[in-house]
Chain A
Amino acid sequence: MKASAGGYARASSLRDALEMLAASDGSGRVLAGGQSLIAAMNLRLSAGDFLIDISRVGELAGVSETADSLRIGALTPHAEIGRNPLIRHHATLLSQAVEFIAHAAIRNRGTIGGALAHADPAAEFPACVLALGATLHVEGLNGTRDIRAEDFFQDIFETAIEDGEILTGLSVPKAGADERQVIEEVARRSGDYALAGVCLVKRTGGHRVSLFSVGPKPILAKNAMAALDRGDVEGAVEALKAEIDPPSDTQASAAYRRHLAGVLLRRAAARIEGGNA
């Protein structure tokens, strides 16, 4: 189908974009890479929006580092996340995840900020930032806010971004020397949304396990984490299955997704212990 947009404006700066958003009376939609938004518009799931194109706002792109964290601009494309040496070194979970996301042409244009703000519960990046304990940065005309990943994802396609705010980037803690990060997922075909997926981070402070495609938002599996901290993988699998309430759809039932989450956690744990993560 053909998209129906109410109007289009290209922002030249973040300030410019925020002013446009304020002026749009709640009908404004921030357009970054557009790999989800334009698809939704072409499906007429979304019509009449006033599009604020931030894709040229240079201040929102790029990766930089501080002593203990990486700052990733919201407009950094998936492909760049996959190849950026800082990310590959300090937050390998994100670069691993890129290989699972859609296809090359989509990774060229899709952005990490767009993926996080879209908050598709089946997407990889939201679960990754949850497992990494990242902080998301949003900005409105009234100032900036930092939101913990745990607080950012609220429901299906719903985040803590308020009206008038734009996600500007995220900060990810640098991996410790002995930290291990792995992502495991099962999709029917390469690049499809996962039927279920698991992110596992093992750091000095303990394990972090997040899941995607098993509920309305990415889930931090705290009981499973505790069991892994005790070295009890099977206990973690059992805890994990109790912590999630997956949906049933035409691709898979809740029971299958729950089973799969356990299999994937076992595999992730084995990879971590195997040391090739």
Chain B
Amino acid sequence: MNEMFRDKIDISLTVNGEPVEGRVPAGQHLVDFLRGALGLTGAHASCEHGVCGACTIKVNGEAVRGCLMLAAQADGADIWTVEGLSDQGTIKDLQDAFVARNALQCGFCTPGMLVAIDELLGKEGVPSRAEIREHLSGNYCRCTGYEAIVDAVETVARARAQKGAA
């Protein structure tokens, strides 16, 4: 149409602490870029209309729907996925709690769930079960019935609070 608009966009960003460059189609969402171009298959594309939460990733410190952000918009961003968070060890207690409580079955929702929970646990205080449920209300899990996930979050929130208080 005209020179202002590009159908391929060059982006340069940081993913899981590593510098990354790419040339992305204008309409490509961020999760397809992470999965396809970078091989970071931890975040999943499921509904691709922002409802299921399987694609939740961390962008500039906040939990974001990876399917509702264009890769082109991620130029300059600092992005973390479950792979990076795992390597970094910052959610190890949460991952351990998920395994111990069997807060996952098929595991497809889990990476997005963990990123969403990470944001909640970053806030002050120990959330109530109702607050945990409310915070996770945008992350669909067909397998667990949610209770085990709520239990795992509650366990970690309490443990962290105790550790902080000690």
Contact = CB atoms under 8 A, between A and B. Distances in A.
Complex contact flag A–B (Cβ < 8 Å): yes
Interface of A: 1-10, 19-20, 23-25, 27, 31, 34-35, 38-39, 41-43, 50-51, 53, 55, 79, 102-106, 108-109, 189-191
Contacts of B5: 6-9, 20, 24, 50-51
B18 interface: no
Contacts of B116: 104-105
Nearest to A47: B27
Interface in B98-157: 116, 119-120, 134-135, 137-139
Contacts of B26: 5-8, 51
Contacts of A41: 27
Interface stretch (B67-75, B79-87, B88-96, B158-166): B67-75
A23 B63 CA distance: 34
Contacts of A19: 4
Main secondary structure of the interface of B (DSSP, over half): mixed
Given A20-B4, A25-B1, A39 B49 contact: yes
A4 B25 CA distance: 9
Contacts of B48: 1-2, 42
Interface of B: 1-2, 4-7, 9, 25-29, 32, 48-50, 53, 56, 62-65, 67-70, 72-73, 75, 116, 119-120, 134-135, 137-139
A43 B1 CA distance: 23
A184 B27 CA distance: 37
A9 B65 contact: no
Contact of A42 (B49, B63, B139): B49
Contacts of B137: 103, 189-191
Contact of A38 (B2, B29, B139): B29
Main secondary structure of the interface of A (DSSP, over half): mixed
Nearest to A40: B49
Which 5 pairs of residues, A with B, have the shortest CB-CB distance?
A103-B138, A7-B5, A5-B27, A3-B27, A8-B26
Contact of B65 (A20, A24, A109): A109
B64 A105 contact: yes
Nearest to A51: B26
Contacts of B67: 38, 42
A43 B50 CA distance: 10
A189 B139 CA distance: 12
Nearest to B120: A104
Most buried by A among B32, B72, B75: B72
A67 B42 CA distance: 50
Contacts of B56: 105
A24 B9 CA distance: 18
13 contacts: A1-B48, A3-B29, A3-B70, A4-B27, A5-B25, A5-B26, A8-B72, A19-B4, A20-B5, A38-B68, A51-B5, A53-B70, A79-B62
Contacts of A38: 29, 50, 67-70
Given A5-B26, A35-B65, A106-B65, A23 B2 contact: yes
Contacts of A39: 49-50, 68
A104 B138 contact: yes
A51 B68 CA distance: 14
Most buried by B among A55, A104, A109: A104
B49 A43 contact: yes
B24 to A, nearest CB: 9
Contacts of A5: 7, 25-27, 70
Contacts of B75: 10
A6 B7 contact: yes
Nearest to B5: A7
